[in-house]
Structure 1
Amino acid sequence: MKPMLKILLFGSLLPIAACNNNTEQEKKNAPDSLQQYAAQRLAGYAPVKLTADLSALSEKEKQMIPLLIEAAAIMDDLYWQQSYGNKDSLLNAITDSTTREFARINYGPWDKLNNDTPFIAGVGTKPPGGEFYPHDMTKEELEKSDVKDKHGEYSVIRRDSAGKLIAIPYHQFYQAPLKRASDLLVQAAALAEDADLKKYLELRAQALITDNYMPSDVAWMDMKNNGLDVIIGPIENYEDQLYNSRNAFEAYILVKDKVWSKKLEKYVAMLPALQKGLPVEDKYKKEVPGTSSQLNAYDVIYYAGQCNSGGKTIAVNLPNNEALQKSKGTRRSQLKNAMRAKFDNILMPIAQELIDPSQLRQVQFDAFFADVMFHEVAHGLGVKNTIDGKGTVRAALQEQGSWLEEAKADILGLYMVTKLVEMNELPGPIENYYTTFMAGILRSVRFGAGEAHGKANMLAFNYFEEKGAFTKTQDGHYKVDVPKFRDAMNGLSNLILTLQGNGDKPAVEKLMKEKAVVRPDLQADLNKLQQKGIPVDITFEQGVKVLGLK
């Protein structure tokens, strides 16, 4: 996802104050001030101009883009409110321009890719519930209350004048900005030439002011021939680290690559057969994944809100509603231009530094694309409901659900790649995919333990290391052992699917504490990447002017 500047990167992504494994040398390297910290961390983001070829779009589609960007900017402001609170009060109080820019990237004063480490004096620890809940509320208080919408996706919890907890729907709490965004989608719909896109935009506009997102999600899944697309609204629940219940606002504006998308169509039909072959007991794979899912490739032309904070998303698997997933499947959207930029400017430099030279040629973009693509497809495998009547996996695991689901998608995506290579549906050799996956782990553990994908990759790294799936050479390079890598893949798949199927939250918490951590040897390698100036992620220069539109 990102072109690169020559930069200095502070540490790995693990905070100096919060990590118990720091060496004395690491402590000596700590910045003298929070301002210096912000400057060093900001240097870890490579700036990227977010552009795409718009020549396949019609004139009316191009006229829609500024309207959609304006609506997306509203999602950006709403996410600020959910992540921190009053954006202007924070940014206007920061006198140092570098720290102010770092706060913009993080949508607040906490470093999202460094375990939410605060970088502005006096702000304290980030509330795990963000701004979805009163800061003085405990989980026990909410559970014992008579609030009907305790774990709703589209409401905030507040106190009434008597101090009693109440739930306020988003469409009421954020009424004025959501009405403006809704009106902009209606204006864009009036320009839409594709009937299905027009229907989706109209229904999405209605959803923003009612919180009834199901009709628009169905309409979105029914779109097949549109060249322009927009994902907008309260979608992912990562920001709610208290319960993983409430969704945060975000938006992507996308241009469909119809040639690439056509190539990807065939894999969705293979999901039921791949589900049957999962390396786990039959009771954990009885559900039949939907085959109406779509696999498409896009170039992104605008990010806003949650997906733009900290690490930038390079693939999207939606909708999240379990019932809709079972009936309609999902759409797995590969964000091709962002993915290519991340590969060229982050993953390859990491591989050149840490992957054994004898295997370096096996780190390839096509393998990276496949690993990321099938990560998204793999969200549809396994189980959505526990096997013993505890309800959905998401409800049973609560705040432990998101990171384990990302770990599942990582490992089952690799399982799918393995099977498809064996079936000659993907070009081999499998070594390319395994070695690229290894390099990908080393990229993603840098996201830190405060982020679901970071935890998932820490688990994979530690599990694979314990199973001998890779070795560390005398000169400090990682070398993949292909047979053991495959065995570890199957073992970790079995472990995760079993935990999800059982809805065993205590066991997942134990697994996170024991294995979703960065150990000293890996920490030293991450510090090496910092010393080489390899970026952690990117930040975008984007908008109407960048796209050459009026």
Structure 2
Amino acid sequence: MKNISKASLFIAGCSIIAGIASCGNPQDKNTKTTEKTTANDSLQKYVNERLDIYEKVKLTTNLNDLTINERKILPLLIQSAQIMDDLFWKQAYPQRDSLLNTIKDEKTKSFIWINYGPWDRLNGDKPFIPGIGPKPDAASFYPAGMTKDDLKKSDAKDKYGQYSVIKKDSTGKLISIPYHVLFATELQKVSNLLKQAALLAEDAGLKKYLNLRADALVTDNYTASDYAWLDMKNNSLDIIIGPIENYEDKLFNARASYEAYVLIKDKVWSKRLAKYVSMLPQLQQGLPVEAKYKKEKPGTDSELNAYDVIYYAGDCNAGSKTIAVNLPNDEIIQQKKGTRRSQLKNAMKAKFDKILIPIAKELIDKDQQQYINFEAFFANVMFHEVAHGLGIKKTITGKGFVKEALQEQYSWLEEGKADVLGLYMVTGLLKKKELEGDIKQFYTTYMAGILRSVRFGAASAHGKANMQCFNFFKENGAFVRNENGTYKVDFSKFETAMNKLSNLIITLQGNGDKAAVEKTQKENAVISTELQTDLDKLTKKGIPVDIIFEQGVDVLGVK
């Protein structure tokens, strides 16, 4: 892949540091040196402080129940995932090696590795390397300097395709190049590794999926392998691999980024979750929105499974770490077949213990801290993923799928929908006595979860979604802020606010009105000064924002 134009990242004769340009009229050399040294020291201090927001976690699990062949498969899956990681670097910041070679400070290098580039993903993509400008919305999916209108007016094929990049040919004309052509060497290596794993696979469903996914990676035709993945029922091992999410393409939210998760199923927990998907049609009928926005019937051939994740790679490892997955993203497959909701239990427990509990102790009303528990956190996250299947996939205004209509505004609003409809599901299931527990536990834990997720910042779809939820719930009296800076949930108003926000989001999606969604984001998906002050307390207390991993064959003890 061609590098992003250096002119877009390194401004000749200027040093853009932390958003302040230091070029202009000639100045005294000593002044320039002092300013540069001060700015560099400031960025070094920033990196040192920001490294502390991550808590390191070992990704391990009990391998005793795996067969000999399954243990042999694991290294092959991890090698495949590592290649996905390299491919994501090529998408997010292809100048990785040249950048790292210029950096002497080991902490700065570590922070570059965590962020997959020189921009702080959990702080609005703030640049933290001297000479680096703002993060380009185009990443490396589009030529530097290309505008939305340029692409719209061009006759390039596959303009908004998931599995291609847009380049300029020798004449300056925009053309598309498929991923399987651009990354042919790397993808063939992954395909071979998955075929080797398939030869060792004893479960027929896993064997079929691995073979089809191996073929898909070198053709960019993922439909058959997606169906095969959904058909797997009895597998102990799993790998989610390929170009999957669109978050990195902030220009159109169209191009998919490479990632991988290597998973081991927790069959005991998975069995406990099996019953909930069949309830989706009934829950869809009860959505607090006009009938025309809930006519679609969600697929019920879906599964809820719990896993221990033993390897993260690529997009899912950049910025905030995913703790649950709802796939495939293909709307047609979702409607025909459904999705699989995978709960990453060990990563989820790490975030609960190391982040959510300390946040609750600091920011949740003392009398309500008793309601924070892991079962409620697990359920809220799980039903967030299930709730992606509720609501509306196609606009009622003839604008096609919601994703197509909303483009770069789609992801954050969809995450907000899943958040609030997940809580709607919990509320409904508790009332039907299909779920055990006290509603106070789920609502209070949800409130603590909002305070956890807003810290991901405005560069994160999940961060924006939780900012909107916080501001909407505050406006509707779902919680109050005590004089000591802690938050107290009003349980009756919490449910009312939940229904109102559900109505708002589904209506926005169903109308496919991108301008209205953009307006909502600018007005509501923001952190107020008061909230920022409270969040700063967490930083001062050393409460991590997220986790990073020690992972791989050595950590697992397999070769």
Q: Into which bin does the TM-score normalised by the smaller protein fall?
A: over 0.9
Provide the secondary structure at the position in 2 that maps to 1:33.
helix
Could you tell me whether the CA contact under 8 Å between 1:235 and 1:250 is conserved in 2? yes
Question: Which stretch shifts more, 31-40 or 441-450?
Answer: 31-40
Matches within 5 A, 1:99-498: 99-498=108-507
The aligned residue for residue 85 of structure 2 is 76
Map Cα deviations across residues 94-134 of structure 1 (whole Å, 9 max, x no partner). Answer: 11100000000000000000110000011211110111111
The aligned residue for residue 534 of structure 2 is 525
Q: Give distance in 2, aligned partners of 1:294 and 1:93.
A: 47
Q: Give distance in 2, aligned partners of 1:139 and 1:525.
A: 38
TM-score, normalization by structure 2:
0.93
Could you tell me whether the CA contact under 8 Å between 2:18 and 2:128 is conserved in 1? no
Map Cα deviations across residues 281-334 of structure 1 (whole Å, 9 max, x no partner). Answer: 000000000000110000000000000112110000000000000011000000
Provide the secondary structure at the position in 1 that maps to 2:134.
coil
Deviation of 1:16 (Å)? 8.4
Q: Give distance in 1, aligned partners of 2:542 and 2:228.
A: 45
Q: Give distance in 2, aligned partners of 1:314 and 1:89.
A: 32
What amino acid sits opposite 2:272 in the alignment? K
Could you tell me whether the CA contact under 8 Å between 2:328 and 2:339 is conserved in 1? yes
User: Gaps spanning 5+ residues in structure 2: where?
Assistant: 1-16, 21-38
The aligned residue for residue 31 of structure 2 is none
Q: Give distance in 1, aligned partners of 2:284 and 2:41.
A: 53
What amino acid sits opposite 2:197 in the alignment? A
User: Gaps spanning 5+ residues in structure 1: where?
Assistant: 1-14, 19-29
Provide the secondary structure at the position in 2 that maps to 1:545.
helix
Q: Would you identify which runs of 4 or more consecutive aligned residues in structure 1 move more than 2 Å? A: 15-18
Q: Give distance in 2, aligned partners of 1:189 and 1:543.
A: 20
Residues 436, 17 of structure 1: alpha-carbon distance in 2 compared, 3 angstrom cutoff: farther
Deviation of 1:401 (Å)? 0.3
What amino acid sits opposite 1:502 in the alignment? N
Deviation of 1:428 (Å)? 2.4
Deviation of 1:31 (Å)? 9.6
Residues 16, 124 of structure 1: alpha-carbon distance in 2 compared, 3 angstrom cutoff: closer
Q: Give distance in 1, aligned partners of 2:278 and 2:497.
A: 27
- Aligned residues: CA RMSD: 1.2
Q: Give distance in 2, aligned partners of 1:141 and 1:433.
A: 48
What amino acid sits opposite 2:210 in the alignment? L
Q: Give distance in 2, aligned partners of 1:156 and 1:387.
A: 31
Asked which structure has the greater CA Rg, the reply is 2
Could you tell me whether the CA contact under 8 Å between 1:171 and 1:178 is conserved in 2? yes
Provide the secondary structure at the position in 2 that maps to 1:181.
helix
Could you tell me whether the CA contact under 8 Å between 1:31 and 1:37 is conserved in 2? no
The aligned residue for residue 8 of structure 1 is none
Q: Give distance in 1, aligned partners of 2:100 and 2:191.
A: 27
TM-score, normalization by structure 1:
0.94
Question: Which stretch shifts more, 88-97 or 271-280?
Answer: 88-97
Deviation of 1:86 (Å)? 2.9
What amino acid sits opposite 2:318 in the alignment? S
Q: Give distance in 2, aligned partners of 1:190 and 1:270.
A: 37
1:56 to 61, 65, 73: 65
Q: Give distance in 2, aligned partners of 1:16 and 1:345.
A: 30
Provide the secondary structure at the position in 2 that maps to 1:135.
coil
What amino acid sits opposite 2:216 in the alignment? A
Deviation of 1:63 (Å)? 0.3
Q: Give distance in 2, aligned partners of 1:16 and 1:490.
A: 41
Q: Give distance in 2, aligned partners of 1:166 and 1:475.
A: 58
Q: Give distance in 2, aligned partners of 1:270 and 1:232.
A: 29
1:65 to 65, 71, 74: 74
Deviation of 1:35 (Å)? 1.4
Q: Give distance in 1, aligned partners of 2:320 and 2:288.
A: 31
What amino acid sits opposite 2:375 in the alignment? D
Provide the secondary structure at the position in 2 that maps to 1:229.
strand
Deviation of 1:476 (Å)? 1.6
Could you tell me whether the CA contact under 8 Å between 2:19 and 2:133 is conserved in 1? no
What is the percentage of aligned positions where both structures have the same residue? 66
Deviation of 1:409 (Å)? 0.2
Deviation of 1:474 (Å)? 1.7
Q: Which has the higher contact order (CA 8 A, sep 6+)?
A: 1
Deviation of 1:427 (Å)? 1.2
Q: Give distance in 2, aligned partners of 1:539 and 1:428.
A: 31
Could you tell me whether the CA contact under 8 Å between 1:275 and 1:288 is conserved in 2? yes
What amino acid sits opposite 2:451 in the alignment? L
What amino acid sits opposite 1:442 in the alignment? L
What amino acid sits opposite 1:408 in the alignment? K
Question: Is 1:38 paired with 2:47?
Answer: yes
1:47 to 46, 56, 63: 56
Could you tell me whether the CA contact under 8 Å between 2:40 and 2:130 is conserved in 1? no
The aligned residue for residue 536 of structure 1 is 545
Could you tell me whether the CA contact under 8 Å between 2:18 and 2:127 is conserved in 1? no
Provide the secondary structure at the position in 1 that maps to 2:263.
strand
Q: Give distance in 1, aligned partners of 2:351 and 2:325.
A: 16
Could you tell me whether the CA contact under 8 Å between 1:45 and 1:536 is conserved in 2? yes
Provide the secondary structure at the position in 1 that maps to 2:276.
helix
Could you tell me whether the CA contact under 8 Å between 1:441 and 1:457 is conserved in 2? yes
